Amino acid sequence: MQRGRGGSIDDRVFAWLIALGVLLSWPPVVASAACKSAQPDSILGCLQRAYADRDSASYAELLSDDFLLYNYGPDSTSWDRDISRKAAADLFKRTASLRLEFLSWEFFPGEMPHTWILDSLDAKVTIVPTLAGKQPPVEMLSKGNTLYLRGLPGPEERIVIYKWVRPRPDGKQRK
């Protein structure tokens, strides 16, 4: 597995971020700088808001400090929180708007206390490029993602994503 590096984000990363945005849209939640809800299913609405607002700081607040994204495929990669934040910031700069819809998912408690799994997450994103009118909107479908969530204790408990697994091309997951 190759580890991603910071710096410029190539078109493959841009396409991945589009797919990532697809995953993040239900139910709608009004979010501020960070998603303050302690309800695990609120993470989807918080992600939707971060993408709709194109707010990379809000997006980064939804990821744990030890966050890892696993992207399985011909060029398997894993990214940490900082690379994911930079990639999201690059996507947000390149788009005029993002519309996110979640199509389906399954929700399970995790193996450890205060952890949850959003599995079989299918989503669609519609992207309007910054050169609206010169480029048509792009619609992408992302199927079979898995988000691993953790509750962060404290006076304002909140939910964060600590692992994101994108499926291999054959649809099988590695855990």
Cα separation values, 136 from 32, 80, 96, 126, 128, Å? 30, 32, 12, 10, 7
Residue 140's nearest CA partner among 172, 95, 106 is 95
Average pLDDT over residues 154-168: 85
Secondary structure E strands in 19-94: 63-71, 77-80
pLDDT digits (tens, 9 = 90+) for 122-152: 888 888 877 656 778 888 888 888 999 999 8
Cα separation, 93 vs 149, in Å, equals: 27
Cα separation, 69 vs 78, in Å, equals: 5
Spell out the domains of the chain, with CATH numbers in brackets: 2-166 (3.10.450.50)
In this predicted structure, the answer to whether residue 6 has a pLDDT above a threshold of 50 is: no
Average pLDDT over residues 149-161: 88
In this predicted structure, the answer to whether residue 2 has a pLDDT above a threshold of 60 is: no
Tokens 């691993």 found at: 148
80 in Cβ contact with 68 (< 8 Å): yes
- Is residue 35 very low, low, confident or very high in pLDDT (cuts 50, 70, 90)? confident
In this predicted structure, the answer to whether residue 104 has a pLDDT above a threshold of 60 is: yes
pTM over 0.85: no
59 in Cβ contact with 50 (< 8 Å): yes
